[in-house]
Structure 1
Amino acid sequence: MADDFRDFFEERTQWTDPDAPKALESDAHILSDEEAPRSRREIRKSKERKRTRQLTRIVAIVLVVAVACSLAGFGYHRLTMWRDARERASETLTADYPGPGSGAVEFTVESGEGPAEIGDKLVKADVIKSQGAFTSAVAANNSTLYPGTYELKKHMASADVVAILSDQSKATGFLQVKAGERVSQVIADAAKLSGINADDFNAVINGGGAGILPAEAGGKFEGWFEPGTYNVKNHGSASDIIKTMVDKRVEKLDALGVPTGTDRQRLLIIASISESEVNSEEYYGKVVRVILNRMAKNMPLGMDSTVAYGLGVSADKLTDAMLNDASNPYNTRVNTGLPPTPISNPGESAIKAAMNPPEGDWLYFVTVNLTTGETKFAATEDEFWKLRDEYKNSNSNAN
């Protein structure tokens, strides 16, 4: 009752300033509600609302600060955990054994494998501790890793492994077929590196190539081995090794767009002669043009390289009797036309030259400098004899 009475009193009581000038009655009616004097109750409620708003703001600020601090603490904790995990991962990725290692591991680097791939294999073989340490060692030394089979140990230092894998003399089990090599040399190397008896290889070579050679080869393997690197140690038989080299050759010829059938065999014969006659690819195309020009005139090719191949010797071993032996089907000094087969396994450059030889009327060529391999070409016999004299003078001065 007292509170009701006080409220009643406060609602009807107005505070006035005794010193303030009295408002004219005529002005009283234009005062707005906000400008009108407020009661004590309204003033008290206004103060309470103001305190409530201030308290609300303080509580909100405290909550925001608390949440921010909590998030900052959580973020710092997560950042620390991430940093520590990253450092641990980095240490794991670049961990290395001190070496020198123990035991024996036979490890093979395949053709085309890169440092990262090789590093993964080394980790799985327990040769090194991490791929990262290995690839870093490769990069630091600017090393080239060669295909082959190597004798390593378990728990070796990565740098020591890189030193071995970048030393080609330590690689075994990989056959290098070089452009211009004869089948006989390739087979001898394959037998030695693979540990397979040479007789097994020769049986395949002399057996006609059924199921291995294309029909246009006529059962002869010469010219049908693709130059490159082959892991012969991991093959189970001589037949498998030979088939791999032939398959690679066919794949390369297809990729180069070499015509199939008899045209393919003919091109391989021409390319093999060109590569065997000169020692620089800059001359391959011109030698091909000489061969084509001579055939067009029904002239013997006159190539010592073919004569030597037919006799199983090198060109520097030829005698006059050998050069005049017409019974040798590869003697292009006496017989016209191309020899029966290629005389080596020509490389890509010689094959491309045989496909697109330059235009020219050359019928002769002479390597005038045996040291540099410089070769000159002539269209007439008179020019040819001048080149022969240049050859004799150059080599007599060299001696």
Structure 2
Amino acid sequence: MMWLVRFILLGRLAGAAAAGALAWWLHQPLPLASDSVELSIEQGERPRDIATGWVQAGVKAPPWALYQWFRWSGQAKRIRAGSYEIGPGTTPITLLEKMVRGDETLATVRLIEGWTFRQFRAELARADSLKPTTATMSDAQIMEAIGSTGQLPEGRFYPDTYAYSKGSADIAVLKRAHRAMRQRVDEAWAARTPDLPLRSADEALILASIVEKETGAAAERGRIASVFVNRLRIGMPLQTDPTVIYGLGEAFDGNLRKRDLQTDTPYNTYTRPGLPPTPIAMPGAASLRAAVRPEASKALYFVARGDGTSEFSDTLAEHNRAVNKYQRGR
């Protein structure tokens, strides 16, 4: 019987030694092939494949050891899909905790006030680790995909910085930007000044896009909006260059000529009264507010001073003097 007792004791000692080795390993930093290692985990991916994926990405550990740890912990089924990044000092324990918490690595893309939808799309195509699912889609197909069939995209996406999980689809960012703009426009329209010469929230969005493109100094948004509101009230053409430039599209070479101002298009506010048919850019919150709550003024004209600010005038005579002073140097 003595041999049996010795055998059992040896087995327990071996088990204790193995358990001790495992506990030690779990608390040791995992060797990495580089300063940071990233892995994207798909929904429903098996723990065994996740362990193998980390090793293939640059974690220098036996894949079977990571897999057995995931299983033995009882947390394997709680690992969340997402994009993860680990660095020096990450242990098997903290690696698993990160995935169970869903502590993803996020990237960001910044969409700028005053950009057109074409510029938005170009920026999304350049964004880090964002799947270009809309790359082959037309504007109309994109609007259909986000649930706005028949709506033109210009002005319908809110310019902001959007965070996303690496490996996300670009259409997801567009959906968020579209929802954000709808909300911002609705909020602005609800807070509008009474008796505006605007018939709908869409017209407020169009005006806001013009204000966005015309504003050189942020503090002047409200007064610039008042000029266009005053013109709309009396039926005076808006005569704003950015709408003409937008109507020219890719034909615009950076130089706006007299013939451009005289060539009629739906966006030529020199030849057509009222607002253009759509927004000409993506306005930010400040321009939306200015469009619905313009500064109280009698100004009908403004001209650039050359320092980013504008000179405002109530009459044509005053405006002509300002043009001579700031544009012609007289």
1:251 equivalent to 2:186? Answer: no
Q: Could you tell me which of 116, 119, 140 is aligned with 1:182?
A: 116
Q: Provide the C-alpha distance between the structure 1 equivalents of 2:190 and 2:146, rounded to a whole number of angstroms.
A: 19
Deviation at 1:300, TM superposition (A): 1.2
After superposition, where does 1:153-164 map in structure 2 within 5 Å? 153-155=87-89
Provide closer, same or farther for how the CA distance between residues 380 and 107 of structure 1 changes in structure 2, counting only shifts above 3 A. farther
1:333 equivalent to 2:270? Answer: yes
Q: Deviations over 1:54-91 (max 9, x none)?
A: xxxxxxxxxxxxxxxxxxxxxxxxxxxxxxxxxxxxxx
Deviation at 1:379, TM superposition (A): 1.1
Q: Provide the C-alpha distance between the structure 1 equivalents of 2:288 and 2:135, rounded to a whole number of angstroms.
A: 31
Provide closer, same or farther for how the CA distance between residues 239 and 274 of structure 1 changes in structure 2, counting only shifts above 3 A. same
After superposition, where does 1:1-399 map in structure 2 within 5 Å? 102-103=33-34, 104-106=36-38, 153-155=87-89, 173-193=107-127, 194-196=130-132, 199-200=135-136, 202-203=137-138, 205-207=139-141, 209-210=143-144, 212=146, 219-231=151-163, 234=166, 236-256=168-188, 258=190, 263-312=200-249, 316-326=254-264, 328-369=265-306, 372-393=307-328
Task: Tell me if structure 2 keeps the 8 A contact 1:101–1:154.
Answer: yes
Task: Tell me if structure 1 keeps the 8 A contact 2:133–2:171.
Answer: no
Task: Tell me if structure 2 keeps the 8 A contact 1:182–1:222.
Answer: yes
Deviation at 1:101, TM superposition (A): 6.0
Q: Provide the C-alpha distance between the structure 1 equivalents of 2:249 and 2:232, rounded to a whole number of angstroms.
A: 25
Q: Provide the C-alpha distance between the structure 1 equivalents of 2:170 and 2:107, rounded to a whole number of angstroms.
A: 14
Deviation at 1:249, TM superposition (A): 1.6
Deviation at 1:270, TM superposition (A): 0.6
Provide closer, same or farther for how the CA distance between residues 264 and 257 of structure 1 changes in structure 2, counting only shifts above 3 A. closer
Letter in 1 for 2:180: K
Q: Provide the C-alpha distance between the structure 2 equivalents of 1:382 and 1:107, rounded to a whole number of angstroms.
A: 67
Q: Secondary structure of 1:174's partner?
A: strand
Provide closer, same or farther for how the CA distance between residues 152 and 321 of structure 1 changes in structure 2, counting only shifts above 3 A. farther
Provide closer, same or farther for how the CA distance between residues 311 and 259 of structure 1 changes in structure 2, counting only shifts above 3 A. farther
Q: Provide the C-alpha distance between the structure 1 equivalents of 2:39 and 2:199, rounded to a whole number of angstroms.
A: 43
Provide closer, same or farther for how the CA distance between residues 213 and 325 of structure 1 changes in structure 2, counting only shifts above 3 A. farther
Q: Which has the higher helix share?
A: 1
List gaps (5 residues or longer) in structure 1: 1-95, 109-126, 128-148, 157-170
Task: Tell me if structure 1 keeps the 8 A contact 2:189–2:201.
Answer: no
Task: Tell me if structure 2 keeps the 8 A contact 1:367–1:375.
Answer: yes
Task: Tell me if structure 1 keeps the 8 A contact 2:158–2:178.
Answer: yes
Deviation at 1:323, TM superposition (A): 1.5
Deviation at 1:307, TM superposition (A): 0.5
Letter in 2 for 1:322: D
Provide closer, same or farther for how the CA distance between residues 390 and 191 of structure 1 changes in structure 2, counting only shifts above 3 A. same
Q: Deviations over 1:308-356 (max 9, x none)?
A: 1111256942222221111x21111111110011111101111111121
Provide closer, same or farther for how the CA distance between residues 237 and 254 of structure 1 changes in structure 2, counting only shifts above 3 A. same
Task: Tell me if structure 2 keeps the 8 A contact 1:294–1:301.
Answer: yes
Q: Provide the C-alpha distance between the structure 1 equivalents of 2:107 and 2:317, rounded to a whole number of angstroms.
A: 52
Q: Provide the C-alpha distance between the structure 1 equivalents of 2:272 and 2:235, rounded to a whole number of angstroms.
A: 10
List gaps (5 residues or longer) in structure 2: 1-27, 41-58, 60-82, 91-104, 193-197
Q: Provide the C-alpha distance between the structure 1 equivalents of 2:297 and 2:241, rounded to a whole number of angstroms.
A: 22
Letter in 2 for 1:387: A
Deviation at 1:235, TM superposition (A): 6.0
Task: Tell me if structure 1 keeps the 8 A contact 2:134–2:142.
Answer: no
Q: Which residue of 1 aligns with 2:48?
A: none
Paired positions, count: 242
Higher relative contact order (CA 8 A, sep 6+): 2
Letter in 2 for 1:310: G
Provide closer, same or farther for how the CA distance between residues 187 and 308 of structure 1 changes in structure 2, counting only shifts above 3 A. same
Letter in 1 for 2:312: F
Q: Secondary structure of 1:354's partner?
A: helix
Q: Provide the C-alpha distance between the structure 1 equivalents of 2:189 and 2:112, rounded to a whole number of angstroms.
A: 22
Task: Tell me if structure 2 keeps the 8 A contact 1:102–1:153.
Answer: no
* Structure label with greater radius of gyration: 1
Deviation at 1:392, TM superposition (A): 2.3
Letter in 1 for 2:281: S
Q: Deviations over 1:197-250 (max 9, x none)?
A: 6633x42x22372463668xx601111111212245646544333212101222
Q: Provide the C-alpha distance between the structure 2 equivalents of 1:315 and 1:364, rounded to a whole number of angstroms.
A: 26
Deviation at 1:266, TM superposition (A): 0.7
Task: Tell me if structure 1 keeps the 8 A contact 2:131–2:169.
Answer: no
Q: Provide the C-alpha distance between the structure 2 equivalents of 1:182 and 1:373, rounded to a whole number of angstroms.
A: 21
Deviation at 1:258, TM superposition (A): 3.8
The two structures have a TM-score, normalised by structure 2, of: 0.63
